[in-house]
Every structure is written in C-alpha cells, then in structure tokens.
Structure 1
Amino acid sequence: MIPKKHIAARPAKPAQHRLVIQVDQNDPAVMNLALNNATNVLDYYRKKGEEADVEIVAFGPGLHMLRKDTTPVADRIHAMADLAFPNKVRFAACGVTREGMEKKEGKPLELLPEASMVPSGVVHMMELQEKGWSYVRP
C-alpha cells in the first residue's frame, strides 16, 4: 500500500454547469432576454474559471427567432455563437415546428447557420433536463 503522502493530489475539476433556455414566442424581446440570460450565465462562470454550456431551444412561434427570413436577432446570435462564446452556446430548432411551418407556407424554411435541428424541441429539453441540465424560460 502506498502512503497517502506519496500520492499526488489531483487538481479539482471545475464544475460543469449546463443550462437549457426555452424560446416559444415570436417576440424579439423574449429572444433578447434569452440571449441576455445566456450571456450572463457564461460570463459568470467564465469569471470563476469554470465551464458552462447553454442551449437555447426554439419551438412553436419561437422558431421564427432562428429563421433566416424572419429573425430580427441574427447578428446577435452570430456574435454570441461564433465570437463571444464559441462552442459554449448552441441553438436548437424544433423539427416538428419546422415541418408544420413548411407545410403551412408551402416552401422549405432556411434556418440560421448557427441553428441545429432536433426532432422535437420539447422532447430535446426534457432529455437535457433528465441529464441534469437546468431549465429557464424567460
């Protein structure tokens, strides 16, 4: 048996903080609040030297916030995802909502390049919460 004094102490691993934010309204104020929440959380943990991940999930009317043709916040999303917090904030678009909008509008919808499709926004949020993600709805 090795005496404890000869065992190197392992550095403490920073806590993993994960937040999922729901956007279900076609309202730039709600989306900007979600983006503010994400920024504040990421800044807070960055200052503490800890890692955090944020995922913003858009479904229902909120999908307009991730559509190229209808979002008023494309520049802010691009700046957050690619410049301010690369690989720390993700945007998930609901496939069920997209399919319904495409059927209603009779054309394919183009999403922002920062958005990734998930089969169902609600199910995706449920599964993230089941994995320990915290949930916020601004």
Structure 2
Amino acid sequence: MNLRPIAHVLVIASLAGAMLFGLRSYAADRVKTHHIAIQVDQNDPALMNLVLNNVENTAEYFNSKGEEAQIEVVAFGPGLNMLREDKSPVKDRLKRIQEGSFPSTVKFSACGVTRKKMEEAEGHAIPIVPEASMVASGVVRLTELQELGWSYIRP
C-alpha cells in the first residue's frame, strides 16, 4: 500500500487547519474601529452641547465594548463659532474633551472657507481654539470622510 497520497492529504489538512486557526486568531485580535463624522453648521450653544454629548457618549460606549471610535466634528458656516477662541460658548468643554479619556479619539475641524469669509466681514483675524485644526473646506472634509466610509451625523 502506497502511503504517499495519504501523507500529502494529511499535510494539506494540517496546513489548512493551521491557516484557519491563524485567521480566527487574527480576527479575534483585531479591534473594530468605528468612524463617525459630525456636522456643526449652526451658531446654537444647545446644538453644540448636544454634539459634544454625542461625542462623549459615543466614545464611552464603544470603549466599554472594547472597540475603538474615531470621531471628527466638522464646523462650518455659523457653526464655526463653536471653534472660535474669542466666541465659543463651549470652549472649556472642548479643552476637557481633548485632555480627557479619549484625546486621540476626537478631532475638531474648522472650515477655512468660513474663517476667511468671517475675517473679511469682521476686518480682523479669527482665532481658532487650539483643540481644532483647520481644513480647507468643511463641506469638502465631510465629503472626503463619507467617501472613505465614515458614518455621517447631522444633529
């Protein structure tokens, strides 16, 4: 009786089993990451606080499940007031979020187009809070994030 074909089958079966175990182990080791983009386009402190409540609650929820979340708040139009150093009604809260439990989870993006128009209208430079970064356009940034598969939230 020739055992070579049986030996080959056993080797192939062993390799397949090892690969399957490795894939299961790899999938178990991977942490699911959620991507959420939130729009702020109104100069409304209640809306701004609602957005920040959503940011904190979402980050805490996914963290409690052992999952990660990347959250980007994009402010443009009248909503840019949320990120203005001189006018933001939620400036202290932005700082607490960035210094809190999830600093790498949350990003604040300020619209460059809106800032430029505000500067032209007001005749002076518009300071942005240090917790925010500038993007060329808030609408373009939201579009890019959606094209990358991010969930889009408009409160």
Q: TM-score, with normalisation over the residues of structure 1? A: 0.95
* Percent of residue pairs identical: 54
Higher-helix-fraction structure = 2
The superposition leaves residues 5-28 of structure 1 with CA deviations (integer Å, 9 ceiling, x where unpaired) of: 434432521212010000001111
**Using the alignment, how far apart are the partners of 1:76 and 1:123 within structure 2?**
26
2:15 is equivalent to residue 3 of structure 1: yes
C-alpha RMSD over aligned residues: 1.2
- Which of residues 110, 130, 138 is equivalent to 1:113? 130
Q: How many residues are treated as equivalent by the alignment?
A: 138
Higher relative contact order (CA 8 A, sep 6+): 1
The 3-state SS of whatever aligns with 2:100 is helix
Which has the higher Rg, Structure 1 or Structure 2? 2
Q: Which residue does the alignment assign to 1:15?
A: 32
**Using the alignment, how far apart are the partners of 1:119 and 1:84 within structure 2?**
29
The superposition leaves residues 94-124 of structure 1 with CA deviations (integer Å, 9 ceiling, x where unpaired) of: 0000000000011011110001000000010
Q: How does 1:87-102 map to 2 (within 5 A)?
A: 87-102=104-119
The 3-state SS of whatever aligns with 1:3 is helix
Deviates more, 1:77-86 or 1:67-76: 77-86
2:64 is equivalent to residue 52 of structure 1: no
Q: Structure 2 counterpart of 1:85, which letter?
A: F
State the 1:81 CA deviation.
1.4
